[in-house]
Each structure stands twice: as C-alpha cells, then as structure tokens.
Amino acid sequence: MSQVIKLKKGLDIKLQGEARKELTQLPLVHAYALTPDDFKGVTPKLLVRVDDVVKAGSPLFYDKYHPQVLFTSPVSGKVSAINRGEKRKILSVVVTPEAEQVYETFDVPALAKATSSEVTELLLKAGLWPMILQRPYGIIANPEQAPKAIFVSGFDSAPLAPDFNFVLAEEAESLNAGFAALAKLTEGKVYLGIEAGSQGVLNQIQGVEIRQFEGPHPSGNVGVQIHHVCPIAKGETVWTVDVQQVAVIGRLFLHGRVEMQKIIALTGSETKVPHYFNVMAGCPISSIVRQADLRPQTDGGTVRVINGNVLTGKRVDQKEGFLGFYNDQITVIPEGDRYEFLGWGMPRLNKFSVSRSYFSWLMPGKRYRLDTNLNGGVRAYVVTGLYDKYLPMDIYPLYLIKAILAGDIDKMEQLGIYEVIEEDLALCEFVDPSKTEMQSIIRQGIDLMIKELN
C-alpha cells in the first residue's frame, strides 16, 4: 500500500461542462504547428524554410543557448508557414500534413542495458527532451545535469481537468517503457503521484515510487507533490514530466519513432457535449472546437476559448490558435462581457464566492457557469492571510510576492522561490480580492533569478 498524503488547504472550483467519458478520433486536419512561446526561456533558431518537406520527428528549430535541444515536427508534410511577430520573433512553425505519415526512425537501445547518456541522446535527437522540465524555474531541463529525483503527477485537480486513468487506459505498455527510460536519467527515485482511492492503469505502473494524495486543488500540481515528498533546497534540481508525455517517450523506445498522439478533454459550460478527442499534438484549436456544438449566447455575449484550464490556461483565438505543447485540455466558458446593473446587491445564487458574499455557499455541491468577468477593477494590494488557506505548501505567498516586486533575491530564496512556478499560485490569484496578476509576478521573479544567478 502506497503512502497517502492528506492535504486540507486548497479549493475545488466546481464548474459545469465536465468531459464525458466518450472518445472521438480526430482525423488529420489542414495544419499542425510548434509554438516557441510554449517553452519558457527558449530562443528558437530555425532549421527549416517554407516549402521544406519534413517527416514526423524532423527538427524544426533548436534552442539558441542549448543547441542540442531540438524541437521536432509532430507530423510529416510540408512547412507551409513560419509566422513572425514584432522584431521578427518566431510565433509558430506550421506544417501541412500529408495523407500518409512518414516517420524519422531512431536507433533505440535496449532499456534494460541502456545508460543514462544513451537515453538522453535519444530523447534529444527525437525532440522529446522538451517534455522534461526542471524545478526550480519550470524550464526545460538541462541535459548536462542529473536531478535528485523525477516526479510525475498522475492526476490533475484543476477545474474540469481530464481523467488520466481514462485517457491512458490503453497505454500501460507505453507508460511502463516511459517510466523505465526516466529511471535511467536519475540516481534517485522516480515518483508517481496518484489520487487517493483511484483505480486504473496508473496503479499498475512498475519501478516507480507511488504516492497517493487526498485533498482539494492544487493537490494534483506536481509542485505541491514535490514539496510534500522531496522538497527542493538551494542548489538541488528535480525534473518533472506530464504523464501523457511519459507515454510518448515510451512509444519512442517501443517503436523507434516519434508518435505524438494525445487525448485531450474539451470542457466548459458552453459546450453542449463536452468529451475527449484523440488528436495529434499541435493541432488547430478550431479543429476541435468546431466539433463541440457550442451553446448559443442568448444574452448577446461571446465565449472565451482557453488553451488549458481556467486557472492557468491562455486565451486563444479559436480560428488561429494551436493546442499547447503541454496542454491536455481546452475549456470554453462565457466571456463575461455582459454586465449586471446593481449585480453586487443581488443574492447571486448562480455566482461562486469563496468569501460567502453570495448565498450560493449554502449549496456546496452546485456546479457553476462562471465567466471571466473580474467583477471590479484592479485594487491596491490588500495584506491579508487569505492566500495561506489555499496553498498547501510551507511558504508565505504574500511575502514572496512582495519580495519579487521589490527585486530582493535573498528574500525570494528564503521564501521559497525555488519550489514554485505560476500554476502553484494560480488558486491564490483566483481568490485574491485585489485581483493581482500573481502568476505573471511569479514568472517575473523566476526570470530575475535566472538572470542574476545563472
């Protein structure tokens, strides 16, 4: 029996639009893209031009400061566009797929005898190394360093998050191969966090240390799990991998090629039939959303399509955006561009509040159709102990945020900057009465640490 870690701090935000356990296979569509902005701290250098023909697994660009880290095409076909922004910044590399997919093939070592350097070299060549992130900082791991441990969270506690036991039900062999490959990369342990009481394929993984977590969101955040199992001290490094991407790594070692299929959840109150889609990584958001049959907005409002979940995802143009490299979810909710006269004075039974401002707290099991309206403007930073109720980590988020704003590196170190990234304080941002952009402040602090200390 694996150890159960019980967390009391946090909050489950119950929204309408949870994905039904129905799966639709999405055929190849008109375009797929790799978006450099998905990768923190990466300066892309192109390896292809428009009209070049590539295979699935062919490199499209590399990181200027770590040339060995390649970023490869999820499909075979022709490079149809290289989209640029201000100062010629690369926004996306778009590939139009061909009907019959052709794959780059790689020489795969036998996992039982493979060395750490052989596994690392293969992941770098195949372009799968960006799937491995490091703490501190939440950036792509340095292949020249070894972590003290590797963590994988086998569940997501964010609102409307996908059920990975359903998503990965047919991936037992790939998962075991992927975890075996990760075990070669560290002299420490590989930890798998699962939800207490859950049953499924993730309970059957071999060769890992399983830890069960019980409690509200953010119990599924890998940063919270690291904090309670193997905290990060100054000078230490821990690596993390998304559980679906472990399966992709496993498929590389089983088949010798890059197979970037993944299952994503289309969720949210504005989808009539929220369910799961089997897609290729980097697919257009529009190819999924147009399958959703969105609810008509009778009040004259619009909808917001979010690449990810409502707490950490990014607003995306549903006509032009592409599925994020690390995302397993698309959420569609009301935009919140309709205002209520004297709304603050109403009972608001259909509005959610953590402060019991509305009578909806009398219905703890109710699911809500929430929008993106801030219900007020940004205010002065109110000093309260509110955040401590929602962050199950032994750090003081208020003082950490203030240290970042002051640019005090010593205080940032003392207050836990090495243990957190944006997603860990997303819930604090949600409940913040001052409406402070806490996630962007955390990234600002991380960027300062990288600049000054590395």
Is residue 195 included in any domain, yes or no? Answer: no
Given a cut of 70, whether residue 340 has pLDDT beyond it is no
| Residue 97 or residue 376, greater confidence | 97
Comparing 19-33, 249-263, 376-390, the range with the smallest average pLDDT is: 376-390
Comparing 99-108, 201-210, 344-353, the range with the smallest average pLDDT is: 344-353
Whose CA is closest to 211, among 186, 229, 199? Answer: 229
Q: Give the list of residues 6+ apart from residue 325 with CB closer than 8 angstroms, or none.
A: 34, 35, 38, 39, 130, 281, 282
What pLDDT shows up at residue 342? Answer: 61
Whose CA is closest to 129, among 248, 279, 283? Answer: 248
Average pLDDT for 330-342 = 81
Is residue 433 included in any domain, yes or no? Answer: yes
- Of the residues 316, 347, 378, which one is the last residue of a structural domain? 347
Q: Are residues 342 and 267 in the same domain?
A: yes
**Model confidence at 354, in pLDDT bands (50, 70, 90)?**
confident
Burial class for 413, CB neighbours closer than 10 Å (0-12, 13-18, 19+):
middle
Average pLDDT for 376-398 = 86
If you average pLDDT over each of 103-112, 292-301, 366-375, which comes out highest?
103-112
Average pLDDT for 185-209 = 95
Q: What would the pLDDT profile of 127-140 be if each residue is shown by its tens digit? A: 999 999 999 999 99
Q: What would the pLDDT profile of 412-425 be if each residue is shown by its tens digit? A: 999 999 999 999 99
- Where residue 298 sits, what CATH number does that domain have? 3.10.20.600
Q: What would the pLDDT profile of 312-325 be if each residue is shown by its tens digit? A: 999 998 888 999 99
Q: Are residues 267 and 329 in the same domain?
A: yes
Domain that holds residue 343: 261-347
Is residue 95 included in any domain, yes or no? Answer: no
Average pLDDT for 102-117 = 96
What pLDDT shows up at residue 345? Answer: 61
Q: Are residues 341 and 417 in the same domain?
A: no
| Residue 384 or residue 188, greater confidence | 188
What pLDDT shows up at residue 453? Answer: 81
Rounded distance, CA 371 to CA 374, Å? 9
Exposure b/e, 58-87, CB count within 10 A at least 16 = b: bbbbbbeebeebbbbbbbbbebbebeeeee
Place of tokens 């990584």: 281
Q: Residue 253 has which token pair?
A: 């070692």
Q: Residue 404 has which token pair?
A: 């970042």
Omega of the bond prior to 218 within 30 degrees of 0, cis? yes
Q: Are residues 339 and 392 in the same domain?
A: no
What pLDDT shows up at residue 1? Answer: 47
**Model confidence at 291, in pLDDT bands (50, 70, 90)?**
confident
Q: Is the pTM of this model over 0.85?
A: yes
Give SS3 for 423. Answer: helix
Q: Are residues 281 and 339 in the same domain?
A: yes
DSSP 192-204: EEEETT--SGGGG
Average pLDDT for 225-232 = 96
Across the chain, mean pLDDT equals: 93
Whose CA is closest to 82, among 103, 56, 57, 54? Answer: 54
Q: Give the list of residues 6+ apart from residue 319 with CB closer than 8 angstroms, or none.
A: 286
**Model confidence at 343, in pLDDT bands (50, 70, 90)?**
low
Q: Are residues 335 and 402 in the same domain?
A: no
**Model confidence at 85, in pLDDT bands (50, 70, 90)?**
very high
| 404 touches 441 (CB < 8 A) | yes
The structural domain count of the chain equals 2
Q: Are residues 334 and 403 in the same domain?
A: no
| 392 touches 8 (CB < 8 A) | yes
- Of the residues 347, 373, 398, which one is the last residue of a structural domain? 347
